Chain A
Amino acid sequence: MRDEGNLLVGVSSEGERVVLRLDGELDLASVPTLERAVQDATFERTAEIVLDLRGLEFIDSTGLRAILLQDKRSTERGQTFALVRGPEQVQRLMRMTRVDEHLKIIDSPEEILL
């Protein structure tokens, strides 16, 4: 199917932190939506990027790959990258692939990172 997926990305920035809130499903179809959102040029110089996964109903391995790619990009730029913990299905995939050990996961977007 050639649909654009079922994902909404809400962007909010506060000082040096940009929060992208993901609502819906992050999968093969909707990954391009997230990719477009994170490639916003202004995010390159910001100090912290947070993906808020609390509204994510589903994630598959391509969604996981997109998150890992952003983590890699942020690391290369010297940015702090963090996830706000998502629902059980999302967290289960993180645990099964053990990327939860690798990524910074916080409980709320207001949490101090540094």
Chain B
Amino acid sequence: MDAVELLVEAGAALAGSLDPRTTMREVAKLTVPRLADLCVIDLLDEDGRINDVAVVAADAKVARGLEALRASSPLDPDGEHPVARVIRSGQPELLAEMADTSLRTFAESSIHAEFMIANNYRSAIVVPLQARGRTLGALSVLRLEPRKPLGAAERPYRQEDLELAAELARRAALAIDNSRLFSDLRRLEQRMEAILSSVAEAITVIDRSGQTIFANQAAADLLGFPTPSDLTGAPPGTIMSRFLVSDEQGDELGLESMPARRLFKGEHPEPLLVRNIVRATGEERWLIVRSSPIADPESERVSYAVNVFENVTEVKRAQLAESFMAEASRVLASSMDYTETLREVARLAVPQIADWCAVDVLGESGEIERVAVHHSDPHKIALAERLDRSYHPAPGDPAGVPEVIRTAEARIYTDIDPDALAAYARDDAHLELLKEIQPTAVIIVPLAAPTRTLGAITLVSSESSRRLTQADLGLAVRLGRRAGTAVENARLYTERTRIAHTLQRALLPESLAEIPGVEIQTLYAAAGELNEVGGDFYDVFDYDEDRTMLVIGDVCGKGPRAAGVTALARHTLRAAAIGGQSPTEMLATLHQALMRQPPGADLCTVCLIALAREEHSARLTIALAGHPPPLLISPAGKVEQVGHSGTVLGVVDPLRIEESEITLAAGETLLLYTDGVIEAGRPNRLLGEEGLLALCAAAPELTLKRFLEHIEGAALQRAEGRLRDDIALLALRVEG
């Protein structure tokens, strides 16, 4: 018998089989009849029992009989049977000649003993089957010979037979071990597949070439394949091209950014959040992609990557919508310039909601005016501007922006195809422009103020081919409402501010009467918001032949009513002066006029000074009605209050006014002011009367204009730039 031939045949037989039972039988068949009359392979199971047997014999009856015996009385792993001993020791045994007595000691039962004796068990070799340092079982080869006189027998097994059997066993063990591992793996794989098919997350396994070797149904659904096998059948690299994949910032991501690819490059990628748009349908999804490596245990090289895709579209959409609305609200509240605000809104919407955003507003005469258009590519903006110029929507157009403005109802157009574009286009050139923009979906929502529609916001999806959904429509409607309210507020504010400026100008004299030899300066600072009209006023006008009347006053309150009363006060005082009344009489006239006003108690404080120019000085007649007394500042900076307190006008009867006369010498300064000055900086940094008196000490060093600015500056500083009340100042000096 040729040992080499046997081993070559064994190699060929063992390479082809992956089923452990087949492998066992193949090994056994090789030995019979060339090496043995009977070959038995016993294998250990996971629990250490000798439980699996393959028997091949020259006589099929023997094989069947032994198989039946092993089934009815399995070998005791701790027993004296050579197979048990070899499995325990790991050492081969050569039983060259077996006597009936020794056969009896091996037997598990009397039937077993009778079987061995009856079938002429004569000579045996038992070798362990060992692979990867483990004993799997034992291979036994036997010669079955009737006993003959010594010397005439067929050759019993010798040492060289044992060596051949051991060599065969080594190969067989490896083949059996491999096929067992393979079958374990198959079972494991089947279990894994059963588990993975039932999980909701999409799971794929890809190899280093990028080939998908496993996918569950959820993965097939997510990636747009009918079944997992369609997905595993797709060539490497063809799956990703079905999608537009970008990160949170909107930057497109390539295959090399995917966690699986990075795993193969030896990196340790974090889970990746991607925006995934199905090119075919425009559907947008947000996915978290996690990849874990399966490394080869020996080389530790990553051979497979397991991808788990978690669909977080709903969560991400809601989160984006909230942060978008928060940002939009912030932008809308930040400016009262509504054109600029709407441009900001358009910028915000791209690319988060759509590829394009345009805002149109309804002009005063009903025309539609494009105030903002945005796209991330400036070239495209130019395209949209060209479209708007050439094919500007008319208020009567049946569809699009004019329709939304007319009906105040949002519109969504999805799956726009070339036919729909052609139907909408006014002519061929229009159609060409529209085709260049290539819209796939459009949302138009009203720019809705609480009581009217101011315009419309248009959102267009084009090159990203992102499908616009009902959720986007909802978000856009909210945006339209928020922006509409903001625009309305901005318009009202602008209008109010304009009215306020106009009114304020009307309340203050356009020019002041000039007095030769007397310098007069005035200053007016409005409080806080531009649109609140304050009640401070001043005036200087010719009183009689040689006197000039100086007026400063304050009407209690703010707003339109105070503005009306202020105008009334100024004009009533001028009229009374023309009528030749004394300062006290002028005040009484104003008081009567105020008392005749509709109820509401309009309080007004006034300081009147009739100035008569004299040589190097001026004679002043002072009449106060509830007003802070003027301050007289000496050239040395000494300050004193002048005038007698008088009753505030408008409410209290009887009026008590006492005129007083003083002389204003050259170099002296007289300051008239309203209470806004001394109340500046309330409550913690109040300037107060004392503060004002201290500021006045600097007057002699300053020009009159600088002096007034000095006071205004101090008041503003106290008020940290936000005056709560108006400030009016009037100062005069007699030139020397």
Which positions in B face A, CB cutoff 8 Å? Answer: 528, 554, 556-558, 601, 603, 605, 626-629, 645-648, 651-653, 656, 675, 679, 682-683, 686, 722, 724-725
Contacts of B603 in A (CB 8 A): 61, 64-65, 68
What is the CB-to-nearest-CB distance from A105 to chain B, in angstroms, rounded to a whole number? Answer: 14
What is the CB-to-nearest-CB distance from A64 to chain B, in angstroms, rounded to a whole number? Answer: 7
Q: Is A72 in the interface zone, CB < 8 Å from B?
A: yes
CA distance A99 to B528 in the complex (A): 29
What is the CB-to-nearest-CB distance from B648 to chain A, in angstroms, rounded to a whole number? Answer: 4
Contacts of B656 in A (CB 8 A): 98, 101
Chain B: which residue is nearest A92 at the CB level?
A: B689
| Chain A stretch 4-28: residues in CB contact (< 8 A) with chain B | 6, 25, 27-28
CA distance A68 to B601 in the complex (A): 8
CA distance A27 to B683 in the complex (A): 11
Q: Is A102 in the interface zone, CB < 8 Å from B?
A: yes
What is the CB-to-nearest-CB distance from B706 to chain A, in angstroms, rounded to a whole number? Answer: 28
Q: Is A57 in the interface zone, CB < 8 Å from B?
A: yes
**CB contact under 8 A between A61 and B682, given known A1-B724, A98-B652:** no
CA distance A57 to B683 in the complex (A): 9
**CB contact under 8 A between A61 and B683, given known A72-B651, A98-B647, A99-B647:** no
Binary flags per residue of A21-51, CB closer than 8 Å to B gives 1, else 0: 0000101100000000000000000000000
**Which of B557, B652, B722 is close to A102, meaning CB atoms less than 8 Å apart?**
B652
CA distance A62 to B557 in the complex (A): 6
Contacts of A68 in B (CB 8 A): 601, 603, 651-652
| Chain A stretch 61-79: residues in CB contact (< 8 A) with chain B | 61-62, 64-65, 68-69, 72
Q: Is A60 in the interface zone, CB < 8 Å from B?
A: yes
Contacts of A60 in B (CB 8 A): 675, 679, 725
Q: How large is the interface on A (under 10, 10 to 19, 20 to 34, 35 or more residues)?
A: 20 to 34
A and B contact pairs by CB, cutoff 8 A, 24 listed: A1-B724, A6-B683, A25-B683, A28-B557, A28-B725, A58-B682, A60-B675, A60-B679, A64-B648, A65-B556, A65-B557, A65-B601, A68-B601, A68-B603, A72-B651, A96-B626, A96-B645, A97-B605, A98-B645, A98-B647, A98-B648, A99-B626, A99-B647, A102-B653
CA distance A68 to B554 in the complex (A): 17
What is the CB-to-nearest-CB distance from A62 to chain B, in angstroms, rounded to a whole number? Answer: 5
Contacts A25-B682, A68-B652, A102-B652 aside, 7 further interface pairs with beta carbons under 8 A come to A6-B683, A28-B558, A64-B648, A65-B603, A98-B648, A98-B652, A99-B647
In the bound complex, do residue A99 and residue B648 qualify as a contact, i.e. CB atoms below 8 Å apart? yes
In the bound complex, do residue A98 and residue B675 qualify as a contact, i.e. CB atoms below 8 Å apart? no
CA distance A30 to B656 in the complex (A): 29
In the bound complex, do residue B683 and residue A58 qualify as a contact, i.e. CB atoms below 8 Å apart? yes
**Which of B556, B629, B652, B722 is close to A61, meaning CB atoms less than 8 Å apart?**
B556
CA distance A61 to B603 in the complex (A): 8
For the complex of A and B, list the 10 residue pairs with the smallest distance between their C-beta atoms, beginning with the closest: A97-B626, A97-B648, A98-B647, A61-B556, A102-B652, A65-B603, A68-B651, A69-B601, A65-B556, A96-B645
